[in-house]
Each structure stands twice: as C-alpha cells, then as structure tokens.
Amino acid sequence: MIFDKVKEIICEELGIEADLVKMEASLSDDLGADSLDAIELIMAVEEKFDVEISDNDAAKIKLVSDMVNFLEGAGK
C-alpha cells in the first residue's frame, strides 16, 4: 500500500514515530518538517517510487494524503 511506504519514508527522514503519521497529518504543522525536510522527503519519495515530482506539484504537497494522492495519480 502506498500509504505504508510513504509513512516509512516520513518516519525515516523526520525521525518520528510511525503512530504520528496519519493521512490527514500536515507535514509541517503536525510532523515538524521544515523546508529542507520537505525537499529531502520529496527526493526520497521520488527515489523510492521511481517518479519525478515537479516543483509545482511539490509545492502543493502539504499533507500526507497529498503525497499519497499524487503517487496514486501517477500510477504508483
């Protein structure tokens, strides 16, 4: 499931507990990601899912669900 893989990446990149990562969680407000963390998360997701996320699309990713929905839309 995409969410499980995304959750794993977020936990690894941000060093947080898995139970904090929920679909409705805000990457910055709830999970504490700053702008550098966000870039590293995007890069990790691109590598893990073999997908390219444009700067425009990356700017729209605010919630965990945004990332999952993007990947689902990309056919991953």
Q: Could you tell me what percent of the chain has a pLDDT over 90?
A: 96
Q: Which helix (H) or strand (E) holds 19?
A: none
**Contact at 8 Å (CB) between 63 and 23?**
yes
pLDDT of 42 above 90: yes
Q: Could you tell me the residue ranges of all domains in the chain?
A: 2-73
The CATH H-level (homologous superfamily) assignment of domain 2-73 is ACP-like (1.10.1200.10)
Structure confidence at residue 73 (pLDDT): 94
Amino acid letter, 73 = G
Set 29, 34, 37, 50: catalytic member: 34
Q: Is 55 a catalytic residue?
A: no
Average pLDDT over residues 61-66: 97
Q: What is the pTM of this model?
A: 0.91
Give the pLDDT confidence of 4-36 residue by residue, as tens digits.
Answer: 999 999 999 999 999 999 999 999 999 999 999
Determine the pLDDT at residue 76. 84
Three-class DSSP category at 62: coil
